[in-house]
Amino acid sequence: NAGVMQNPRHLVRRRGQEARLRCSPMKGHSHVYWYRQLPEEGLKFMVYLQKENIIDESGMPKERFSAEFPKEGPSILRIQQVVRGDSAAYFCASSPQGAWDTEAFFGQGTRLTVV
């Protein structure tokens, strides 16, 4: 059973371009979470999705950021018109259910560098 798969592992974008980060959850997992890790900081929650639904986006910046988890295919975190401050590691996690005591399994992350 493959773990949470994120791609690409490294992504370089120029300021103003769009970044698309993909996350394929573990088999049988229908709950996906995105976290951002800025340099020298802990992970910050961004968004929680189930298939075709956004459950909690309280950690998402109001502009330029969006996320989806379609019925088929991976979850996508999209950042439009990237700025240098978006440079960070973005981690995806998945769980089989959304209960608060359920372990979430993390992917290896996508390291976004904005130049």
- Name the residues that contact other proteins, by CB under 8 A: 3-4, 31, 33, 35, 40-45, 48, 55-56, 91, 93, 95, 98-109
**Could you tell me the smallest distance in angstroms from the CB atom of residue 112 to other proteins?**
14
Q: Which is nearer to other proteins, 41 or 72 (CB)?
A: 41
**Could you tell me the smallest distance in angstroms from the CB atom of residue 17 to other proteins?**
24
- 44 close to 58: Cβ distance less than 8 angstroms: no
Q: Which is nearer to other proteins, 24 or 95 (CB)?
A: 95
Q: What is 47-67 written as a DSSP string? A: EEEETTEEEE-TTS-SSSEEE
Q: Which is nearer to other proteins, 15 or 36 (CB)?
A: 36
Q: What is 7-45 written as a DSSP string? A: E-SEEEE-TT--EEEEEEPPTT--EEEEEEE-TTS-EEE
